[in-house]
Amino acid sequence: MLGGLLGGQCGPIGFDIGAVGLRVLQLRTASSGLRVVGAAMLPRTPGGSGLPSADRLESLLAHAGFRGRRCVLSLPREVVRLQSVRLPAMSDDELREAARWEAAERFGLDRQGLEADFIRTGLSAGGNEKREEIIIVAVAHDDLMPPVETLLAAGLHPVAVETGFFALTRLFSRRHRREADERDVRVILDVGHSASTLIVLRGGSIAFAKQISVGGRDLDEKVRERLDIEPESAAELRAARIARFERGTALDDSSRPADEAIHMDESVERAVFDASRGLLAEVIREVVLCLRYYNVTFRGEPPRSMIVTGGNGREPGLLEMLAEATGLPVDLDAPTATLTSLRSALHARLGRDQGPMSSWAVAAGLALRGLETSRVRRGADAAAAAQMRRGAA
């Protein structure tokens, strides 16, 4: 009934707890594409669960257009552990238990105080003992339960806790549902604030994922050191460059409200780029190494393209450096322009600038859960659904 009133199917509310802020988004389907139901953006408060209080959360949702109680949560990437390992072939139940043991040992966590899950990459290694490569994802209960409990206290119904990179996989695999799409291998580089994540997708399946330790916070620090300025000023300089860069790309469209032009002294521009270049080169070296590993390890089609996303993915110069180093065409959005199509609606809902559209990629992927059938393989949700059910009870 609700879907009919909204003119299409309404998805869950996606909560993306980022390193610098919270983004909340709900989408619905329409004959012309995706539409924004509700949207909210809040700065991250130090400590706590990354969410506002339950009372404030209830008020926020009531006044921002959100519908229903179902929601999906993504935790900050700095609390999510990620590791590729090779294990003997086994059933899902056996593999899930093995993932818990591996996570406890590799990440130094109490096995009883963590949730761990896995992704099968599809890679099998031969030999006397057949082994397969999987991606283990783990999170400590201390990081998991506070935000889940806040959602429950606000009267919401969490249906899943997902990793940010799995949400991105859903977002950028909306048109990859056929068997033939498995031959379409793409790379996603998500440049966040605390770190970056590289994902290789085969069709709608995750074949490889790795965290890269460099993020926007590190770039801010390099600019601060180079210019000898306050941390806040360094962050503002980089944000201004990213905003100006986004206005000059294909992501800019006529529906975006006109903004006052951003000007920056040429010498300052050069100093910021020089300060950032070394770290950008480090990211690119990691990307090249990951792609080399993928190409050597996985047989079949090599990657054909790359999408750069994340709140710091619009760093000027990054796309050109990536294209030169990898030889791949590098884009700022999926060919279907999913994020671009949501820009004007987000701006209208928020009543202010929504920041780089790529910073909404994870929230959009969360909001698509269950909204569109996808061939994405079983994901590595950092929290087991059983844990949330126990919390709800």
Q: Return the CATH number at 159.
A: 3.30.420.380
pLDDT for the residue numbered 243: 83
Residue 244 within any structural domain of the chain: no
Q: Does the residue 288 lie in any domain?
A: yes
The reply to whether 376 falls in a domain is yes
- Of 63, 58, 65, 55, the C-alpha closest to 26 is 65
The total of structural domains in the chain comes to 1
pLDDT at position 252: 41
Is there a domain that residue 318 lies in? Answer: yes
End-to-end CA distance of the chain: 27
pLDDT (0 to 100) of residue 334: 72
Q: Is 241 part of a structural domain of the chain?
A: no
CB 274 within 8 A of CB 222: no
pTM of the model: 0.85
Task: Write down the pLDDT at residue 336.
Answer: 65
pLDDT at site 291: 95
Residue 225 lies in a domain: no
- What is the C-alpha separation between 379 and 257, in angstroms, rounded? 37
Question: What does the pLDDT read at residue 257?
Answer: 41
pLDDT at 263: 61
Nearest alpha-carbon partner for 346 in 6, 91, 41: 41
Q: Which domain holds residue 316?
A: 9-218+276-387
Sign of CA dihedral 134, 140, 173, 319: negative
Q: Divide the 393 residues of the chain into consecutive groups of 10 and give the mean pLDDT of each group.
A: 49 93 92 87 80 92 91 92 89 92 91 91 66 91 94 96 93 70 86 94 90 94 94 91 71 40 72 92 96 86 92 91 96 77 88 87 94 46 40 41
Q: DSSP for 59-109?
A: HHHHHTT--SSEEEEE--GGG-EEEEEEEE---HHHHHHHHHHHHHHHHT-
Within a domain: residue 168? Answer: yes
Residue 199 covered by a domain: yes
The predicted pLDDT at position 183 comes to 76
